């Protein structure tokens, strides 16, 4: 179909990239009946029912229309000469056969016939009668939403289930499967049933689609959204990898090697063929998997065009759909930095969005806070797909699980008031210390040796004991709770005695145990219970009932990993190329930790553990066993503290950096009444306060405003008071980028001594500048102009000017003073009494002018 091209070894016909999308809310696509409206006023055609700002059950489930169609694509993922056909199973209210047009809730997945979906690993199961239609629909979406006026479409990703072709693990041919189905729904592409009969959705599709899915399915939703395809109105992304390089590597360190993509592709491909001719199977897709392995870069860990194709964050600017994103903050499968990078990009672009953040691992929110989640999802789809004015977008943007089973709403995320706060690594008597400024005095270093076999439990244990393969830095015992919300970042100044090493850092909560959700990749912090509840309508072959799930609670740990991160030293500046280290040379090694929303309780200590290789991150280890020397003055962790440095100080962290203040002027002398501008510059006395700049990929792990202002963290903030001869002039002036400017136009003639006094701000101590001399001069013509401006009576002005002229021409001081006294009496007479302050100032000015 059309001209063809090849991407990563697969033929892909030129497909569209849409620049415009349909209106988000627009008019309702079908009649709506609001509860309470008289029957005579209701539309005769089928309609949804809305009550209490939600769609209600108005249609049957057992009589719903079921279909399976194959959408004709314009790509050939397996290179067999035939364009792939994408299978989609659809269930919709029977009323759509009588004119009701409904939106579609779509879940595209590679797992429907292999690994299954949801906590109970449900598979697609066909009718026993061989009609090729689904009898069991995984998950609760069909049971719950079809009776409320939605269609549900389950798409078999390319090369999986009943679709032809071969999976390419988030390659373009995977990612376009759902897009092709949306094209068909919208009338831009053709499809056929199992008998080859053309099928359209024109008679029942409202024009709006919402995609949903967890993990791989969430990636496919994001991949569709970044095409800007018209007809995709919203996506609900649950714990998806949005940049597959980050799923298989972390800052250049390989996590999933051994040609993981080819292995996963084999897993999701059916051993035997389910698809129509020409079919597909694991054996059929061997060549495609070999192509994946040839291009995955496992030998170096480098990023490349191969991985760029699997990165949706970079294309977030094309998103035209709203986004509801969820993430388990203890997810060890799809780690939360996938969520945060995606979220930060969407936030910077102003995409309509909300977030649910949980303390569990790789878990659907349906299995964490079921009732609240179903309500949120219901209202979200009602708003975006049916246009129900339920106010869901007027509510707080983020829902955060702060403690097991306890939820808190936030206006945004990171939580409002979260500020990047520098915490420096310092020497200590046993363990190192943490402070808000570098330690004073000369540079201090500490050296440890990388261990490829050190376990995380060893890294965290006995923090005050110095060991050979780690360094630990501890805060004082906190005297108030301290909340982190966002992404922490480590910047280590270090040298290595080898051309390559790994670096790792762990943020730890040391203190008495309290209830927290278990962090364990094997159970994801949850357990399946024996009870169950039901969500929606049922049929003889499809139940809406699911087993309850409970959180597993830890009540014994006194060393709790809050977050962590790793870096390959050779990828310190770029993920696409390796640059060997020069032994002995000090480099800034910057890398983010995983995002988190966590509160350190009072009575606990913040710990930072620095290591080399970190095998329990699930990554490879360095083989050099390098000695790593930290230069502590410039080594720091930047924490996203809610309340910033003020909150950190209140919690017990301390430290202040000395500053210097200088003042300059735009001119050494000005005329009376002219403007004079003075500039104060405040800088830290220790240059180590200023962090090094970040590589682009590291900056991309932070919110856009934090990345832009990162190097400014070492720039003093606060205010400067300008003074003239020790007396304040004007109000304190805020610092911007370390400078403050004050412009004066009312300095009296004569010599002035200008100074600037910086008040302590943030981690910076106060300081004052040396004095700067400034002269203000005045001419006789200026005095005459002042006199003229001070009197509205021309006769008075002439009289005063006469006295001034005489004073100016007086042969000696005695005569001049008499004339000025006469001027004073004349001014007093005109003003009707004693001189005002302004008149007295004028006389002083005149006296100075006539010296």
Residues 331, 337, 519, 542: which is the catalytic one?
Answer: 331
CB contact set of 286 (below 8 Å; sequence gap of 6+): none
Q: Nearest to residue 672, comparing CAs of 781, 750, 749, 784?
A: 749
Tell me which residue has tokens 């360190």. 253
| Angle, vertex CA 549, rays to CA 543 and CA 550, nearest 5 | 165
C-beta of residue 288 within 8 angstroms of C-beta of residue 160: no
Q: The dihedral of CA 51, 57, 59, 64: what is its sign? A: positive
Residue 362 annotated as catalytic: yes
d(CA 434, CA 635): 11
How many other CB atoms are found less than 10 A from the CB of residue 287?
12
Four-CA torsion 396, 402, 403, 406, nearest 10 degrees: -10
Cβ neighbours of residue 82 closer than 8 Å, sequence gap 6 or more: 76, 164, 278
Distance CA 556, CA 480 (A): 22
Handedness of CA 166, 168, 170, 171 (dihedral sign): negative
For tokens 């553990």, the residue is 609
User: Residues with Cβ < 8 Å from 731, sequence gap 6 or more?
Assistant: none
Q: Which of 186, 215, 485, 539 is catalytic?
A: 215
Nearest to 353 by CA among 327, 335, 371: 327
Residue entry with tokens 């699980």: 401
The helix (run of H) or strand (run of E) holding residue 418 is: strand 418-426
DSSP code for 243: B
Catalytic one of 162, 284, 362, 571 = 362
Active-site annotation holds for 281? no
One DSSP character per residue, 173-184 reads HHHHHHHHHHHH
Greatest alpha-carbon span in the chain:
126
Catalytic annotation on 162?
Answer: no
**Are 56 and 50 in contact, with CB atoms under 8 Å apart?**
yes
654 close to 436: Cβ distance less than 8 angstroms: yes
CA distance 386 to 149: 9
Percent helix, strand, coil in the chain (nearest 5)? 25, 30, 45
DSSP for 779-836, please give it: -HHHHHHHHHHH-S-HHHHHHHHHHHHHHHT-SSHHHHHHHHHHHHHHHHHHHTSSPP
What is the CB-side half-sphere exposure of residue 668 using CA atoms within 13 A?
A: 1
240: nearest Cα among 172, 175, 305: 175
CB 742 within 8 A of CB 676: no
Cα of 338 vs its chain's centroid, Å? 9
Inter-CA distances, 113 with 78, 128, 429, 824, Å: 19, 16, 59, 103
Q: Which residues contact 61 (CB under 8 A, 6 or more apart)?
A: 142, 143, 146, 147, 536, 537, 538, 539
Active site residues: 215, 331, 362
């Amino acid at each position: 179909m059309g001209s063809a091209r090849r991407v990563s070894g697969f033929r892909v016909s030129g497909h569209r990239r849409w620049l415009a999308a349909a209106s988000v809310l627009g008019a309702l696509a079908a009649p709506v009946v609001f509860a309470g409206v008289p029957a005579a006023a209701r539309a005769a055609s089928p309609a949804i029912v809305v009550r209490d700002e939600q769609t209600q059950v108005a249609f049957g489930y057992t009589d719903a229309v079921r279909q399976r169609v194959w959408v004709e694509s314009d790509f050939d993922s397996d290179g067999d000469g035939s364009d792939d056909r994408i299978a989609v199973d659809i269930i919709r209210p029977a009323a759509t056969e009588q004119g009701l047009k409904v939106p579609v809730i779509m879940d595209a997945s590679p797992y429907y016939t292999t690994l299954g979906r949801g906590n109970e690993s449900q598979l697609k199961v066909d009718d026993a009668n061989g009609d090729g239609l689904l009898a069991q629909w995984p998950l609760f979406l069909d049971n719950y939403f079809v009776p409320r006026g939605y269609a549900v479409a389950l798409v078999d990703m390319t090369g999986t289930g009943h679709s032809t072709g071969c999976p390419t693990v988030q390659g373009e041919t995977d990612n376009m499967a759902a897009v092709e189905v949306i094209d068909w729904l919208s009338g831009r592409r053709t499809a056929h049933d199992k008998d080859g009969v053309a099928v359209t959705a024109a008679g029942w599709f409202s024009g709006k689609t919402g995609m949903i899915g967890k993990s791989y399915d969430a990636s496919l939703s994001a991949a569709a959204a970044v095409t800007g395809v018209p007809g995709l109105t919203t996506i609900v992304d649950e714990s998806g990898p949005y940049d597959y390089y980050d799923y298989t590597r972390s800052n250049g360190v390989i996590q999933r090697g051994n040609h993981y993509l080819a292995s996963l592709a084999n897993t999701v491909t059916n051993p035997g063929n389910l698809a129509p001719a020409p079919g597909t199977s694991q054996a059929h897709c061997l060549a495609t998997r070999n192509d994946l392995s040839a291009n995955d870069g496992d030998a170096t860990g480098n990023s490349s065009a191969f991985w760029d194709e699997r990165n949706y964050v970079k294309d977030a600017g094309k998103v035209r759909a709203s986004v509801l994103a969820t993430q388990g903050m203890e997810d060890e499968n799809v780690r939360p930095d996938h969520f945060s990078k995606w979220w930060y990009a969407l936030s910077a672009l102003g995409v309509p969005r909300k977030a649910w953040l949980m303390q569990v691992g790789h878990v659907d929110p349906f299995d964490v806070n079921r009732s609240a989640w179903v309500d949120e999802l219901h209202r979200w789809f009602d708003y975006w797909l049916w246009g129900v004015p339920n106010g869901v977008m007027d509510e707080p943007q983020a829902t955060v699980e702060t403690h097991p089973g306890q939820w808190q709403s936030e206006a945004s995320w990171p939580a409002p008031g979260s500020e990047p706060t520098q915490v420096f690594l310092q020497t200590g008597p046993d363990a190192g210390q943490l402070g808000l400024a570098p330690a004073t005095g000369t540079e201090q270093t500490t050296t440890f040796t990388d261990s490829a076999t050190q376990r995380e439990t060893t890294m965290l244990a006995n923090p005050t004991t110095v060991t050979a393969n780690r360094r630990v830095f501890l805060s004082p015992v906190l005297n108030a709770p301290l909340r982190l919300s966002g992404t922490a970042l480590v910047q280590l100044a270090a040298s290595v005695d080898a051309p390559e090493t790994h670096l790792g850092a762990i943020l730890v909560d040391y203190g008495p145990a309290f209830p927290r959700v278990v962090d364990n990749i094997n159970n994801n912090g949850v357990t399946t219970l024996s009870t169950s509840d039901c969500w929606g309508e049922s049929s003889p072959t499809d139940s809406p009932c699911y087993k309850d799930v409970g959180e597993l609670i830890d009540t014994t740990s006194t060393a709790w990993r809050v977050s962590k991160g790793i870096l390959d030293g050779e990828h310190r500046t770029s993920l696409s190329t390796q640059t060997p280290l020069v032994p002995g040379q000090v480099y800034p090694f910057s890398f983010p930790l995983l995002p988190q929303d966590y509160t350190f309780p009072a009575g606990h200590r913040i710990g930072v553990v620095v290591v080399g290789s970190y095998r329990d991150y699930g990554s490879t280890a360095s083989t050099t066993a390098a000695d790593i020397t930290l230069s502590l003055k410039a080594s720091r962790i930047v924490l996203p503290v809610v309340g910033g440095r003020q909150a950190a100080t209140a919690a017990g962290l301390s430290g202040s950096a000395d500053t210097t203040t200088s003042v300059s002027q735009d001119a050494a002398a000005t005329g009376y009444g002219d403007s004079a501008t003075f500039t104060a510059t405040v800088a830290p006395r220790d240059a180590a306060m200023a962090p090094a700049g970040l590589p682009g990929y590291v900056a991309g792990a932070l919110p856009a405003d934090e990345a832009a202002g990162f190097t400014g963290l070492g720039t003093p903030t606060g205010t400067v008071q300008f003074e003239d001869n020790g007396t304040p002039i004007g109000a304190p002036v805020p610092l911007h980028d370390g400078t403050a400017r004050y412009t004066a136009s009312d300095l009296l003639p004569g010599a002035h001594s200008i100074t600037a006094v910086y008040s302590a701000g943030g981690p910076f101590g106060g300081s004052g500048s040396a004095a700067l001399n400034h002269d203000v001069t005045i001419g006789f013509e200026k005095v005459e102009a002042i006199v003229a401006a001070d009197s509205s009576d021309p006769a008075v002005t002439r009289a005063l000017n006469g006295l001034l002229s005489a004073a100016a021409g007086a042969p000696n001081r005695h005569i001049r003073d008499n004339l000025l006294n006469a001027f004073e009496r004349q001014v007093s007479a005109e003003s009707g009494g004693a001189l005002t302050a302004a008149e007295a100032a004028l006389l002083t000015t005149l006296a100075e002018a006539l010296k």
